[in-house]
Amino acid sequence: MRFALAMLSVLVSGLALGESFPSLGTLSPLQEVPQIVSGRASFYSKAFHGRKTASGERYAHDVISAASNRFPMGALVAVRRVLSARCVVVRINDRMGHRSRVIDLSREAAVRLGMIDAGVTEVEVVLLPKYLIGHEHACSLAFKPPVHLHAGEGQGLTSAKR
């Protein structure tokens, strides 16, 4: 009974916040929690506008994209600025020469994170799991810890103490 109430509480609180949940059919019970990579981020200067990226595309400073050596080309990653908790989803379309940085963002992505004046800032980056790609709250959900509900030790799900 307590387990059922806990599940209902989690679902209702999430729905009250306007979040929708992935269907149970899309989640695997053995699904890995995405690894969060912490480090420093910078952004491309305007001088790179129009140059070819490693993917062959032309860099456009007004398009949300990023360069990284730590994530696969074409991957979607969520980037959260540590100081403000602002978050943006970017697609990796280039490689970078900065070994001391985790990611190099397009100017538009940097604007959305509020880091233009800072230039370089602390961020957390996580590869988006497939079930979050295209989700309207993908960025914030990517950084939430998974919900673990534990049944009481020695109690079955159908028995309840009164």
The answer to whether position 94 is within a domain reads: yes
Q: Write the pLDDT tens digit of every residue in 5-59.
A: 343 343 333 433 444 444 434 444 445 556 889 999 999 877 777 778 888 888 8
* Lowest mean pLDDT, pick from 44-48, 78-82, 155-159: 155-159
Q: Count how many domains the chain has.
A: 1
Average pLDDT over residues 99-127: 92
- Domain region containing 70: 36-142
User: For 31-137, where are the alpha helices, taking DSSP H only?
Assistant: 107-113
The answer to whether position 118 is within a domain reads: yes
The answer to whether position 70 is within a domain reads: yes
Average pLDDT over residues 98-121: 91
d(CA 30, CA 42) in angstroms, rounded, equals: 35
Share of the chain above pLDDT 70, in %: 67
d(CA 20, CA 23) in angstroms, rounded, equals: 9
Tokens standing for 138? 């993908």
Residue 82 has pLDDT above 60, yes or no: yes
The answer to whether position 147 is within a domain reads: no
State how far the alpha carbon of 59 is from the alpha carbons of 109, 146, 153, in Å: 13, 35, 56
**Residue 23: burial class (beta carbons within 10 Å; 0-12, 13-18, 19+):** exposed
The answer to whether position 101 is within a domain reads: yes
Tokens 């590869």 locate to 127
d(CA 114, CA 16) in angstroms, rounded, equals: 28
Q: What are phi and psi of 77, to 5 degrees?
A: -130, 150
The answer to whether position 11 is within a domain reads: no
Which among 10, 63, 34 is positioned nearest to 139, based on CA atoms?
34
Residue 153 has pLDDT above 60, yes or no: no
Give the CATH number of the domain where residue 93 resides: 2.40.40.10
